[in-house]
C-alpha cells in the first residue's frame, strides 16, 4: 500500500515550529516546565491522525530509499575514482574534479572538497576557556518513533 500525503500538506515545514500552547501541569498530566513531556493523542485531531498513521510506512520507505541512494552514489564515486586514477604515470595526481556525462542519466560532477574540523572534545579538555569562548548552543526539533516504555520513562502516559 502506497501512502499518499494529503494535498493540504505544506510544501516546506519551518525549521523551528512555534511551541504549542502548553496547559498547566495538572491539565497535561506532567510538569509543564522546561524539559517536560507534553502528551497529545493523535485521535484528538483528524489531520494529525492521518499524518500519524502514515509516518511508519513513509519512514520505512525513506530509509530504504536512502540506503539504495547511498549504495548507488558510493558505487559511482568508486567507479569514477578508479577510472580517473593517476593513470600510467606514477607521479601524476588524481584529478580533484571528475564529470560523468551520457544519456543514461543526468550529468554528474564528483569533486574532492578539503575541509578542516576542530576536535571539540580535545579542545574542551585541553583548553576549556577557549572552548567556552567559541562554543554555541543550538537545538532542533527531532521526530522519532518510540515505544510506550520510552514514553513512560519520560513521564508521559502509556
Condensed to tens digits (0 to 9), the pLDDT of residues 1-37 reads: 444 544 444 444 444 444 444 444 444 444 445 678 8
* 133 pLDDT more than 50: yes
* 61 pLDDT more than 90: yes
Q: Taking the model in full, what pTM does it have?
A: 0.60
User: What percent of the chain is predicted at pLDDT more than 90?
Assistant: 51
Q: How confident is the model at residue 96 (pLDDT cuts 50, 70, 90)?
A: confident
What SS3 string covers the chain? CCCCCCCCCCCCCCCCCCCCCCCCHHHHCCCCCCCCCCCCCHHHCHHHHHHHHHHHHHHHHHHHHHHHHHHHHHHHHHHHHHHCCCCCCCCCCCCCEEEECCCCCCCEEEECCCCCCCCHHHHHHHCHHHHHHHCCCCCCCCCCCCCHHHHHHCCCCC
Amino acid at each position: 500500500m502506497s501512502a499518499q500525503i494529503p494535498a493540504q500538506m505544506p510544501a516546506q515545514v519551518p525549521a523551528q515550529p512555534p511551541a504549542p500552547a502548553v496547559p498547566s501541569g495538572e491539565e497535561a498530566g506532567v510538569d509543564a516546565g522546561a524539559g517536560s513531556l507534553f502528551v497529545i493523542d493523535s485521535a484528538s485531531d483528524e489531520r494529525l491522525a492521518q499524518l500519524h498513521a502514515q509516518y511508519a510506512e513513509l519512514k520505512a520507505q525513506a530509509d530504504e530509499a536512502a540506503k539504495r541512494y547511498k549504495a548507488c552514489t558510493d558505487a559511482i564515486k568508486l567507479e569514477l575514482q578508479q577510472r580517473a586514477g593517476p593513470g600510467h604515470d606514477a607521479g601524476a595526481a588524481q584529478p580533484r574534479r571528475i564529470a560523468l556525462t551520457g544519456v543514461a542519466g543526468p550529468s554528474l560532477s564528483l569533486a574532492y572538497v578539503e575541509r578542516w574540523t576542530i576536535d571539540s572534545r580535545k579542545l574542551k579538555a585541553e583548553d576549556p576557556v577557549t572552548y567556552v569562548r567559541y562554543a554555541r548552543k543550538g537545538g532542533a526539533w527531532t521526530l522519532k518513533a518510540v515505544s510506550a516504555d520510552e514514553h513512560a520513562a519520560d513521564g508521559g502516559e502509556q
